[in-house]
Chain A
Amino acid sequence: GENVEQHPSTLSVQEGDSAVIKCTYSDSASNYFPWYKQELGKRPQLIIDIRSNVGEKKDQRIAVTLNKTAKHFSLHITETQPEDSAVYFCAARAGTALIFGKGTTLSVSS
C-alpha cells in the first residue's frame, strides 16, 4: 500500500524566513496531495492541495510543488509569521483514502 515519508519532523525558523517541508510517496498511482495544518488540540485544516496533473500551485505565502517522476512533493511557506506555528501534515491519496505523513512541527519565533 501507499507509504508517505515526511521530513523534517521539527523545524524552527525566525519570523520572516522561509520554511520548506518535504514528503515522498511510494504509490505511483497516487494523484491527489493535500497539506493540512493542525494547531494544538484542534482539527487538521486543509491549507493547500495539488493534483497530479499540476506541477506547482501557489496561494499567497504558501506554495506546493510536485515531482511525479521522483514521487515527492514539498510545501513552501514564505515570510513566516508566529501564527504559522503548528503541525503540518502531508498526505497522498491511495485509492480513496488519504495516507498521511507523520507531521512536521513548525516553530516560528519572533
Chain B
Amino acid sequence: DSGVTQTPKHLITATGQRVTLRCSPRSGDLSVYWYQQSLDQGLQFLIQYYNGEERAKGNILERFSAQQFPDLHSELNLSSLELGDSALYFCASSVAPGEGQETQYFGPGTRLLVL
C-alpha cells in the first residue's frame, strides 16, 4: 500500500457524460500528479498540482480539468466523454518536485469505461 488513495475504483458511464475522479495523497505529500494509462499510449502525464497550484501540464485535453483543494486532495474532472477516454487513471504523489523529494508513489487507479 503506497498511502495514496483513489476513488472510485471502477466507473462505467456513457459518451457525453461527465465524471469526477478523486485522489488523496500520502500524508505529508504536497504534489499530486495525474496520469492516464491506455493500452496503446502507455502512461501519459496529464497534470501536476503542488500545494494547491497548477505546476505542470502534459497531454491533458481541454475537456479535462483538475484542481487541488486546501486539504491537498485532488479531483480530475472529465467531461463530454468519448469512447477513447476509456482508460486507467492514476494519481501519484510526492513530497515536493525537488532534488531528493521527487519519488512519486502511485495510487491504485480508477478504471473508467465509457460506453
Across the interface, name the chain A residue whose C-beta is closest to B46.
Answer: A97
B interface, size bucket: 20 to 34
Tell whether, in the assembled complex, residue B102 and residue A93 are in contact, meaning their CB atoms are under 8 Å apart.
yes
A43 and B2 contact, CB distance less than 8 A: yes
Q: How large is the interface on A (under 10, 10 to 19, 20 to 34, 35 or more residues)?
A: 20 to 34
- Cross-chain contact B43 with A42 (CB below 8 angstroms): no
Whether A96 touches B102, Cβ cut-off 8 Å, given contacts A43-B107, A43-B108, A43-B109, is yes
Known: A43-B90, A43-B109, A96-B97. A89 touches B42 (CB 8 A): yes
Given A43-B90, A102-B42 in contact, is the A97-B103 Cβ separation under 8 Å? Answer: no
CB distance from B30 to the nearest CB of A (A): 12
Cα–Cα distance between A51 and B107 once the two chains are bound (Å)? 23
Interface residues of B in 97-115 (CB under 8 A from A): 97, 99-100, 102-109
* Cβ-closest chain A residue relative to B105: A46
> Chain B residues with Cβ under 8 A from A31's Cβ?
99
Answer whether residue B64 sits at the interface, using C-beta atoms and an 8 A cutoff: no
| B residues less than 8 Å from A43 (CB atoms) | 2, 90, 106-109
* A32 to B97 CA separation, bound complex (whole angstroms): 11
* Nearest-neighbor residue (CB-CB) of A100 within chain B: B43
- For residue A49, give the distance in angstroms from its CB to the closest CB of chain B: 7
A38 to chain B, nearest CB (A): 9
Residues of B within 8 A of A (CB): 2, 31, 33, 42-45, 48, 50, 55-56, 58, 90, 97, 99-100, 102-109
Cβ-closest 5 pairs across A and B: A96-B97, A100-B43, A43-B106, A102-B42, A97-B45
Q: A42-B108, A49-B103, A89-B42 are in contact. List 11 more A-B contacts (CB 8 A).
A: A45-B106, A46-B104, A91-B43, A95-B97, A96-B31, A96-B50, A97-B58, A98-B104, A101-B42, A103-B42, A103-B43
